[in-house]
Amino acid sequence: MFGRRDPLAAASVEAAPERRRRIALVAAALLAALALVLGASLAAPADSAHAAVPMAKPVKPGKPGGGNGGGSGGGTTELAYAAVGDSFASGVGAGSYLDTTCYRSTKSYPKLLDADADKALVAFSACSGSDTADVIAQAASVPSTAKLITVTVGGNDVGFADVMQNCFVLPNSSCATHIANGAAAVESDAFAASITDVITTLRTRAPAAKIVVTGYPLLFWENASGVNPKYTWADEVNDETVALNDRIQSVAQSGGAVFVDVEGVFAGHGIGSSSPWINDWRWLSQTNSFHPNAAGYVAYANAIRAVPLS
């Protein structure tokens, strides 16, 4: 479908039943792996997936003047920073993974922000496959002294994996239905309530923290659908991503959180562009597909840095 020989099509021309059986097993394994990576319900349970990875980094000099920023001590003015959320918060797509359960990356935006002189990442429990209920569970890792919390969540609640699989990986006639289902979920009271619950839980956990909720980039270049037939549904998916971001923004701001819109900073860098910051689908790199690359996470980090901390 994406310029590679389709293993399912190859199976149809094999004469030997044993050969067909082996290929069917391979295809099933690929689809199972896809569901895991894109955020389906096959993600690991909370005990393993939501445990924050150990924080180990060089000691950074604090700003002149002393003060207590709640960071790593020693007179530093670093703010204690916690990062929760889904695969876009854990850094899926950037490589250099710290684990193979949640795919937290050293190139994720939380780790990039941790390198700043004014922030100390004290909890990093973001995990691939997480929805809002999972992120509420992740909140247990956030210390009460946290002064900054970032969160990216919502895509898995509205069927991100289903849309990607049925519209772009193995496109079929159910694509439009999955997009429509996602759109309906975005507009539902239940979705708004789930985002509110995330913010409320984080606020209760760390009352003095600034909560920064990030949106999602548009995955596809705006002209992608006219350039390549494999992007037929790209414009529709981008439109629904805008609606998703608008809904998250409205609810987050109503709950007293700061919303960071990354649509603009990713403009011109979607899949199909000459300089993509989003990884296209690859059978041999399923983990990274449909997520930002390292340059994309730099853009995320820069957008968050623009938020005043005081």
Closest CA to 138 of 159, 122, 123: 123
Closest CA to 62 of 54, 74, 50, 52: 74
Residue 240 identity (one-letter amino acid): E
pLDDT for res 44: 34
Adjacent-strand bridge partners of 214: 260
The percent of residues above 90 in pLDDT, for the chain, comes to 71
- pLDDT band at residue 9 using 50, 70 and 90 as cut-offs: very low
One DSSP character per residue, 4-47 reads S--HHHHHTT---HHHHHHHHHHHHHHHHHHHHHHT-TTSPPHH
pLDDT digits (tens, 9 = 90+) for 142-152: 999 999 999 99
Q: Long-range contacts made by residues 271-274, C-beta under 8 angstroms, separation at least 24?
A: 271/219, 271/220, 271/221, 271/224, 271/231, 271/234, 272/220, 272/221, 272/223, 272/224, 272/227, 272/228, 272/231, 272/234, 273/221, 273/224
Task: Find the catalytic residue in 50, 87, 90, 105.
Answer: 87
pLDDT digits (tens, 9 = 90+) for 156-182: 999 999 999 999 999 999 999 999 999
Average pLDDT over residues 132-136: 98
87 tagged catalytic: yes
Q: 234-254 and 189-205 helices cross at what angle (nearest 10)? A: 50
Average pLDDT over residues 81-93: 98
pLDDT for res 21: 53
CA-to-CA distance for 69 and 73, rounded, in angstroms? 8
Adjacent-strand bridge partners of 119: 79
> Coil, strand or helix: which one is 197?
helix
pLDDT for res 77: 83
At 260, which helix (H) or strand (E)?
Answer: strand 258-260
Q: Is 307 left (phi over 0), alpha (psi -120 to 50) or beta?
A: beta
Task: Find the catalytic residue in 50, 178, 269, 291.
Answer: 291
Average pLDDT over residues 14-18: 46
CA angle (93 as vertex; 87, 99 as ends), nearest 5? 65
Residues 6+ apart with CB under 8 A from 12: none
- pLDDT band at residue 57 using 50, 70 and 90 as cut-offs: low
Per-residue CA distances from 46 to 88, 140, 185, 213 (Å): 18, 11, 24, 21
Closest CA to 245 of 197, 194, 186, 159: 186
CA-to-CA distance for 108 and 214, rounded, in angstroms? 13
178 tagged catalytic: no
- Judge whether residue 66 has pLDDT over 70: no
pLDDT digits (tens, 9 = 90+) for 253-291: 999 999 999 999 999 999 999 999 999 999 988 999 999
Give the mean pLDDT of the chain. 84
Q: Do residues 294 and 307 make contact, with C-beta atoms less than 8 angstroms apart?
A: no
Q: Do residues 160 and 41 make contact, with C-beta atoms less than 8 angstroms apart?
A: no
